[in-house]
Amino acid sequence: MAPVREGSALRIPELPFELAPRTSGDAPILSFGWPDRWFATLLLFNPDWRPRNWYVNLQEPLRRTPVGFDALDLKLDVIVDLDGSWRWKDEDELAEAIARGLLPERDRARLRAEGERAVRHIAEREPPFDRDWTTWRPDPAWPVPSLPEGWDRLPD
């Protein structure tokens, strides 16, 4: 789900907004998330499974919910190319979120440190990045999962 107003996605939520389903298109994504880390590390593919790049999404640690997991996106991201070079993404969104008081100023340094930590995980091939995930493919026997009842309702 993502915040929208009048059918347009809001990069930074601003009242009033509605939540609407967001799809990621036809390109496969392999996502690694942890309950104690402030980021998820995604491997992005092209629709034909050629690997594109790593993508570090800075976010609050995953939280279990009755229907799965929630995480709050923290605006700043890192793009890590397959050759190991990397760059920040959406620094302007982080600055705007802090300026609007949606995120505390102290998050700026923390998020940068976490982003750099995530880049080191990939570069230094720390598990689970000690194998080549670019050749990973899902088992074709796996069923397409369906969303559980209540997935679109916020917890009380």
Residue closer to Mg ion by CB (options 45, 118) is 118
Residue closer to Mg ion by CB (options 25, 143) is 25
**Dihedral (CA of 9, 11, 16, 17) sign:** positive
- DSSP states along the chain: -EEEETTEE-SS--SS-EEE-----SS-EEEEE-TT-SEEEEEEE-TTS-EEEEEEEEEPPPEEETTEEE--EEEEEEEEETTS-EEEE-HHHHHHHHHTTSS-TTHHHHHHHHHHHHHHHHHTT-TTTTS-GGG----TTSPPP-PPTTTTS---
CB of 45 to Mg ion, least distance (A): 18
Tokens of 107: 């998050």
CB of 144 to Mg ion, least distance (A): 25
Residue closer to Mg ion by CB (options 88, 129) is 88
List 3, 37, 56, 57, residue binding Mg ion (CB under 5 A): 57
Residue closer to Mg ion by CB (options 45, 90) is 90
Q: Which of residues 76-95 bind Mg ion (CB under 5 A)?
A: 77
CB of 40 to Mg ion, least distance (A): 9
Listed residue (31, 102, 103) closest to 69, CA to CA: 31
Residue closer to Mg ion by CB (options 77, 107) is 77
Told to check if 41 binds Mg ion by CB under 5 A, we report no
Told to check if 73 binds Mg ion by CB under 5 A, we report yes
CB of 147 to Mg ion, least distance (A): 22
Q: Which stretches of the chain bind Mg ion, using CB under 5 A?
A: 57, 73, 77
